[in-house]
Structures are given as C-alpha cells and as structure tokens.
Amino acid sequence: MHLFDRIAGDGHEEVVFCHDGASGLRAIIAVHSTQLGPALGGVRFRSYANEDDALEDVLALSRAMTYKAAVAGLDLGGGKAVILGDPALIKTEALLRAYARHVERLGGSYLTAEDVGTTQADMDLMRQETRYVTGTSRSLGGSGDPSAATALGVLQAMLALATHLWGSPDLRGRRVVVSGVGKVGLALARHLVDEGAVVVASDVDEAVVARATSALGLASVPPEQAHAAECDIFSPCALGGVITPERISELRCEAIVGAANNQLAEPQCARLLVEAGITFVPDYVANAGGIINIAQELVSHRRELASTRVRTIFDTTMAVLDEAKTEGASPTNVADRMAERRLAGYGRSGRAGAARATVTGG
Ligand code: NAD
C-alpha cells in the first residue's frame, strides 16, 4: 500500500501509529480534518483480521466524523482511533493510559471518546493522562456515555423519515428490525416501544438478545437473517458495511435508519438503494446525537440544551430527504454536499492541523 497516497486520497491531515511495548498497545489515531475545529471521534477497541483492515477502518471512520460534525452544524472536525486487539483479552489500565498519553501528545487536535469496545469507565481512566478525552463521568466534569443521546437522535431521524414517507411522525404499528441491541440499539428499542412501534431485536450475542427480549418483550430474528426480515424500517446498530450490493436485493424494508457508522459497504450502494425504492437516511446524519451531546459538554453542562440540540436531527433529516426527492438524488449525495458546502464556506482552509481544543471539564 502507498501510505501517503492512501492518506492523501481522502484528505487526511495526520495519521499516528501508537505503540507501547510494556502494555502491548497498538493503536492508530487518524485526524481527517480540523478545518471546523478539533477532530472529535471515539476510540474503537477490537480485533482486526490484519493491520490493513484496521487502517482502512480508522480512515473511513474519521472521514465520516468530519461529515457528521459538518452536517450537524458543529464547530468540530473529524477524527477516530482504533486500538488493535480483543478488549476482553488485552484491555488493561496500563494500555488505556498509554493510549491516552498518545492522545495528550497531539495537543488537542484530536479529542477521544467512547466507541465500540470502550466504555465510560475507560474514558475516566484516560482522564488521568489527558485533558483531551470526552464522555467521562459527570463527577469528572464530562457528559458521560453518549449512547442515550445517539439513540434519541436516531429516533428523531426515524420520526422525520416517517413524516417524509408516510405523512406523519406516528410510528405506531410500524415494524422496525434493530440489528445490534448493544448500548445504542437497546436504548433505541426502548424509545421505539414507547412510540408504539413493533420492534424485532437481533444480535450476534445471544445474552444481549435475551436481555432485550425479556426487558422489552420484543421478538427476535437471527443476525444473519435480520437484513432480510420484512419490516418498515431496518435499523443497523452494530458494525458498518452491512449494506452490500448483494444484500440490497434481499432487503424487504421501506427504509434504513440506524446508528452504525459507515453502513454502506460501497459508495454505489447509495444509488442502488434509490433504484430499489428504499429510503436510506445517511448514517452520519442519523447518529450525530452522541457528538452533539459531547459538543455541548465542551461548552456547558446543561443537559437540556444537549437534548434540544439532538432533536434538530429531525429537521436535518427532513431537509436531506426532501432535497433528495426534489432532485431525484440519493440522500447520501445530498448530505455529502451539505457537509462539503459547510466545510468550504466556513472552514479555516490552509490551517490544517492548526485547530486545538481547550477542554476544561474535570
Ligand atoms: P455496542 O458495542 O454497545 O453494541 C453493538 C452490538 O452489536 C453488540 O451487542 C454486538 O454484540 C452486536 N453485533 C456485533 N456484530 C453484529 C452483527 N454482525 N449482527 C448483529 N449484531 C452484532 O456499540 P454501540 O455503542 O451500541 O454502537 C453501535 C454502533 O453505533 C457502532 O457502529 C458505533 O460506531 C455506532 N455509533 C455509536 C455511538 C454511541 O454513542 N455509542 C455514536 C455514533 C455511532
């Protein structure tokens, strides 16, 4: 792989490979853009088949964070980190603190946060080494786990979708398959049950499915069949890449709205979904609740302001879907353009890497 060509290809400013022999840390931090502000993005802790897969994942995820923050109207850039390895086997305090020291060294151009495989408790440990960690416990000055805000935001996107497709935000009786009932998926399922939707849960972890079905009285579907289950909305809330060209022909939903990042395995899937008559709400529009919550943490700790701002995802989703319909374009295309317009219009062009965060919490 030609590393610099790959990194420059979609405009990354900085990619840092982190190593700590004593704790076994192997991590990659990717700063895609600091044009609108410090690059915010979670740290994902998981096993990858190989290092190239880890690099591809962090590059794609950090780029998506730039677009997410831009469309949400936040003064934040996009970044992401991955720690390579199975957290169940190698996660230790020493390793998390070694990672946090690398984050500190970046001087605030990258703000880390929770993601798949990391928790609020991990953020609290990192806080001992770096100011540049968000989503720590309230007692440490943070806003806590962002998952509830993310779930609230995905619900807003679904309400907007319902208004756009069916003429009213009423989700009563609508069948929604939630694939991945972890932190966000379970909170989303709760909201949907409250809205009167018929929720079907799915997860690769049987204990997690059992928790969701018994807590909320949900039906379930095996994970390999979730995308093909008949429903109004398919909601991917596990990992990315679930919508492939092959799977599009198997989908039996009217729409896709979920929390997972980078749901489309290939860019052409956006067009294929339009051709299949399936409305796709771009993931980074629907799942921005978590970073909106964190952005609020950076300026003040008034929770009610954060949830008011998360509810703006309804309007953003409506704008994207309406414009896509008018133009006959894919919602992904429209959302990308919105992000690029904001980056072009308000960005600090020519100051790549210059943005630095001031984190005062804790
Ligand atoms: P999580 O780890 O708590 O939950 C993910 C769940 O998906 C787990 O229960 C896991 O067993 C399940 N899963 C894994 N592979 C699966 C598969 N192939 N099919 C079905 N289930 C599978 O993670 P989370 O925090 O709930 O995040 C879920 C997704 O949302 C991730 O893609 C994450 O990047 C994205 N996201 C999360 C937040 C947040 O605030 N937590 C914000 C934005 C985006």
Q: Would strands 219-220 and 77-84 be described as parallel, antiparallel, or unpaired?
A: unpaired
Residue to substitute in 44, 204, 243, 307 for testing ligand 1 pocket (most ligand atoms within 8 angstroms of CB): 204
User: What distance in Å separates the CA atoms of residue 172 and residue 176, rounded to the nearest whole number?
Assistant: 11
Which tokens is 300 given?
């003040």
Query: Quick count: other Cβ atoms within 10 Å of Cβ 204?
Result: 14
Q: Which residues contact 121 (CB under 8 A, 6 or more apart)?
A: none
- The whole-model pTM stands at 0.91
Task: Tell me the three state secondary structure of residue 356.
Answer: coil
CA–CA distance, 53 with 59 (Å, rounded to integer):
10
Three-class secondary structure of residue 124 per DSSP: helix
- Structural domains of the chain ordered from first start: 3-139+351-361 (3.40.50.10860), 147-337 (3.40.50.720)
Say yes or no: CB of residue 41 within 6 Å of ligand 1.
no
Angle (nearest 5°) at CA 32 between 148 and 268: 80
| Separation between Cα atoms, residue 267 and residue 328, nearest integer Å | 17
pLDDT in tens, 85-116: 999 999 999 999 999 999 999 999 999 999 99
57 pocket-lining for ligand 1 (C-beta < 6 Å): no
Q: Which atom of ligand 1 is nearest to the CA of 114?
A: 41
263 in ligand 1 pocket by Cβ < 6 Å?
A: no
Which residues in the chain land under pLDDT 70? Answer: 1, 301-303, 346-362
Asked about 183 being catalytic, the answer comes back as no
- pLDDT at site 1: 64
Among protein residues, the one with the nearest Cα to ligand 1's atom 29 is 260
Ligand 1 within 6 A of 143 CB? no
Amino acid, single-letter form, for residue 72: A
Q: How far apart are CA 138 and CA 343, in angstroms?
A: 32
Q: Please write the tens of the pLDDT for every residue from 292-328.
A: 999 988 887 666 778 889 999 999 999 999 999 999 9
Tens digits of per-residue pLDDT, 186-208?
999 999 999 999 999 999 999 99
